[in-house]
Amino acid sequence: MKIDNFKEILSKIENYGGNSPSYWGNALAGEVGEACNLIKKYERDGKDITEELGLELADIFNYLVLTARYFYIDLEKAIFDKLEILEKRKKQRKEKLKELLI
């Protein structure tokens, strides 16, 4: 899936509410809260949340991409950069653990 394929869809979403990073950031936080609430209900009550959670995750993704676009962030690049950072940390932890065990 290419994030750029969502440009047309996202331009429609931009017109539904505010057109600023603070609006999208607050909307993102709200949607994350809604997703967490569904997960709580799943764990607490055994409720089937699959469809509802999918819709909330779609909202999260949309607001995330809108925020990234506003700041000219290439999300695909950022994701791979972050994975590289995490791999380096993992390697450093392993090396440090080896030192401690010697």
Residue 101: pLDDT band (50, 70, 90) is confident
In sequence order, the 6+-apart residues with CB closer than 8 A to the CB of 3 are 65, 75, 76
Q: Let me know: does 3 contact 75? Beta carbons within 8 Å.
A: yes
* pLDDT tens-digit map of 36-90: 999 999 999 999 999 999 999 999 988 888 888 889 999 889 999 999 999 999 9
Alpha helices in the chain (DSSP H): 7-14, 21-45, 50-70, 75-101
Residue 62: name the closest of 101, 22, 25 by CA. 25
